[in-house]
């Protein structure tokens, strides 16, 4: 898209301030008109012969109009004209993800070698290798949900912690992904985050209450089915993802699943960023030199008196 097509104001309501400024200009010009003042006192037929009209300099802008122009430029600058996107502040990946891992006896099943849980850990590492600068966190759940590691850039530490997860260290048996989602959503520092649920099953009924109340920071929820194709219940994963307006991805033997997850993360992050006008660069600063040059003329002798003179 061209700059003209992208052009808009970040704070368009400020443009309303232009109207009262030009009303003031009109009032000043009207009350500085000697002809209008004398018309109230002298017959208009005689007035043309009694008044001496001073020579006008066509190149000189009247002082009130000068004030109106400067004020208009100031308001336009404050309204935030924008026509280009901000360049990335950092080369670092600004997206955030929280891994939510099911840690139960069913995840020890060996339909995926060496086990579902170990395969989930390997896929997490593959995704972090693909996105080396992304901030990641880790939540583990069974009958209860627990924060293993808050958001960090240290993928080596997260990998170590993830590899130590096992059903026998979980304090409570069960399957409560809903509690894990709420805990995971609280870890994000801002909107645009993504939760990846690595699980071998999904029950849509468990997410009904979460869907009604919503999640803090409005993250994108991705369900990653860590179970063999033969044992996969695709319908329940799709329904669970649909309930939370998320997406679903089954595990694959190659890197396709990891690449697909990375693409979903990008879409979630860009979608959240697109809602923020702050992604556009405020071009108001470019008006500053013009405003300063116009205001330098205010220092000429008699300008202030001329601008605010009322006959």
Query: In this predicted model, what pLDDT tens digit does every residue of 74-103 receive, in sequence order?
Result: 999 999 888 876 655 444 557 899 999 999
pTM of the predicted model, to two decimals?
Answer: 0.63
Q: How confident is the model at residue 174 (pLDDT cuts 50, 70, 90)?
A: very high
The rounded mean pLDDT for the chain is 84
Query: What tens digit of pLDDT does each residue of 277-294 get?
Result: 456 778 888 888 888 887
Give dist(CA 213, CA 275) in Å, integer: 22
Are residues 48 and 156 both part of a single domain?
A: no
CB 75 within 8 A of CB 15: yes
Are residues 184 and 127 both part of a single domain?
A: yes
Are residues 69 and 131 both part of a single domain?
A: no
Are residues 49 and 120 both part of a single domain?
A: no
Residues, the chain: 311
Are residues 72 and 143 both part of a single domain?
A: no
Number of domains within the chain: 2
- Is 91 within a domain? no
Supply the range of the domain harboring residue 108.
96-277
Are residues 79 and 135 both part of a single domain?
A: no
**pLDDT for res 56:** 52
**pLDDT for res 6:** 73
Are residues 127 and 235 both part of a single domain?
A: yes
CATH number (domain holding residue 212): 3.40.50.410
Are residues 265 and 225 both part of a single domain?
A: yes
Are residues 26 and 112 both part of a single domain?
A: no
**How far is CA 215 from each of CA 43, 151, 168, 218, rounded to the nearest angstrom?**
78, 17, 29, 5
Q: Is the pLDDT of residue 248 over 50?
A: yes
């Amino acid at each position: 898209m061209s700059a003209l097509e992208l052009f808009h104001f970040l704070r368009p309501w400020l443009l309303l301030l232009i109207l009262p400024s030009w009303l003031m200009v009109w009032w000043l010009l009207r009350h500085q008109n000697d002809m209008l003042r004398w018309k109230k006192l002298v017959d208009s037929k005689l007035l043309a012969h009694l008044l001496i009209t001073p020579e006008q300099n066509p190149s000189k802008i009247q002082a009130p109009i000068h004030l109106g122009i400067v004020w208009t430029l100031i308001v336009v600058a404050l309204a935030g004209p924008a026509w280009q996107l901000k360049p990335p502040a950092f080369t670092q990946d600004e997206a955030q993800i929280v891994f939510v891992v099911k840690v139960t006896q069913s995840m020890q099943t060996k339909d995926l070698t060496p086990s579902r849980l170990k395969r989930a850990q390997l896929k997490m590492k593959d995704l972090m290798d693909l996105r080396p600068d992304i901030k990641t966190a880790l939540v583990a759940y069974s009958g209860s949900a627990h924060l293993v590691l808050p958001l960090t850039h240290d993928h080596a530490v997260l990998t170590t912690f993830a590899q130590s997860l096992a059903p026998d260290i979980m304090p409570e048996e069960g399957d409560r992904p809903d509690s894990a989602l709420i805990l995971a959503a609280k870890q994000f520092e801002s909107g645009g985050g993504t939760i990846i649920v690595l699980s071998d099953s999904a029950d849509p009924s468990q997410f009904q209450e979460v869907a009604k109340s919503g999640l803090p920071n409005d993250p994108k929820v991705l369900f990653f089915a860590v179970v063999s194709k033969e044992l996969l219940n695709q319908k329940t994963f799709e329904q669970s993802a649909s309930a939370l307006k998320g997406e679903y991805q089954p595990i694959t033997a190659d890197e396709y699943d990891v690449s697909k997850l990375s693409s979903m993360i990008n879409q979630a992050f860009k979608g959240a960023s697109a809602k923020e006008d702050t992604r556009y660069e405020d071009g108001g600063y470019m008006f500053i030199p013009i405003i300063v040059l116009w205001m330098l003329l205010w220092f000429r002798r008699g300008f202030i008196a001329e601008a605010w003179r009322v006959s």
